[in-house]
Amino acid sequence: MMIKKSVVIILFLLTTCKLSEAIEHLNWQQNSVYEIAQSAAAIDNLLVVATKGGLLFCYNEQGNVLWQKDLKQGLLSSPLIAAQKIFLSSVDGTLFCFNFNGEEIYRKTFSASFRVSPLLLEQNEMLLFGERGEIFRINPQNGEISAEKRVNAEFFAPAAFNAEKKMVIIPDKNGSLYALSDRGEVIWIFKNRGVNFSAPALSKDKIYFTSMDHFLYALDYSGKKLWEFQTERWNISSAVLDSQENIYFGSYDQHFYAIAAGGRLLWKKRLASSVNSTALIDNRDHIIIGDSAGYIYELDSGGTTLFRQKTEDFIRNPFTIFSSKLQLIAFSVNANLFSFQHGFSISAKSYWPKFQQNQANRATLGRKN
């Protein structure tokens, strides 16, 4: 159903160009010199952003900084908002927990380096994934470890959780996809051909993920490969699904792809340069995507370009929706913050870990968050 109220779009860009009908006017902007770690986390009227240099910012919907923290540790993962708290893990092995006012609740140090966000299972269960295959099961209320183990993997990409099947899906950098129980036990391992940096997308009966081995893979929940689709170059852009379970992703071969659920190519669109960022799908099944030449595109479900805007820097990190006004967040290298007026909300069914029914990086399919 079409949402009639106006929607605000925020873009982390370096410059703005002439706006089309899709983006009406610039509301506000925030200039930044800090490189953003990954995707922001958003809830209500709060936007939480981490930088690689160790700064944590909290913005309101007017673009004002409500508070900031210098954690003095490297941050390569996205913040997670859960149980009225903000969680963030660092490459130095620390899990930070803050309230919405920026007050530190606790910090815990682990014998690991974290490059991916914590994964919320239930209100009192969370998994942390270390870059050398460490898995910690903790109580998010206090950070205490209830179980830990290590597998032969390197975790550099976000996990996703199917609550109905109680199954965690997480890529291994070295060419595998792990399925874990909600206790962190290995259920199966799928071997692919190359390095994995993208997040998996989950539907009720399928798992989709892209790889730098030039393939998009579709698996069932037993780990069986259903089909694969080959591109011409690396794939870092995570797959997203629309309301018909069509799959969308970008590639280093400068194309943006639309694939049917059975693996058939629907269309591909050549963009100005390679694609690192992950697409967002709105409630019309329109797609918003950025490329490394600095263009922002809006495409319809058939691949027709409805809007294109050039910026001075490449768009890399995933998009995010923010606040009751549904502002859209995107990132360029130097991470300037812009707010544009738009007219549509995110799709109610746009699946990958960022957009599975929430904007707080909870990465859960099958349970409302």
DSSP string across 43-80: ETTEEEEEBTTSEEEEE-TTS-EEEEEE--S---S--E
pLDDT class of 13 with cuts at 50, 70, 90: very low
Contact in structure between 119 and 363 (CB atoms under 8 Å):
yes
User: Per residue in 180-199, pLDDT tens?
Assistant: 998 899 999 999 999 999 99
DSSP string across 93-131: SEEEEE-TTS-EEEEEE-SS-B-S--EEEETTEEEEEBT
Which pLDDT does position 87 carry in this prediction? 95
Between 141 and 27, the more confident residue is 141
DSSP 3-state of 24 = coil
Taken in order 71, 73, 74, 76, is the CA torsion positive or negative?
negative
Q: Give all domains of the chain, ordered by start, each with its CATH number.
A: 7-365 (2.130.10.10)
The percentage of the chain sitting over the pLDDT mark of 70, rounded to a whole number, equals: 76
Which pLDDT does position 346 carry in this prediction? 64
Look up the pTM and report it.
Answer: 0.88
User: Per residue in 131-165, pLDDT tens?
Assistant: 999 999 999 999 999 999 999 999 999 898 888 89
pLDDT class of 1 with cuts at 50, 70, 90: very low
Query: Which residues are paired to 241 by β-bridges?
Result: 247, 351
Which pLDDT does position 327 carry in this prediction? 60
CA distance 248 to 350: 10
Least confident of 148-152, 221-225, 345-349: 345-349
- Cα distances (Å, whole numbers) of residue 265 to 183, 231, 262, 358: 37, 11, 9, 29
CA distance 59 to 45: 8
pLDDT class of 12 with cuts at 50, 70, 90: very low
pLDDT class of 72 with cuts at 50, 70, 90: very high
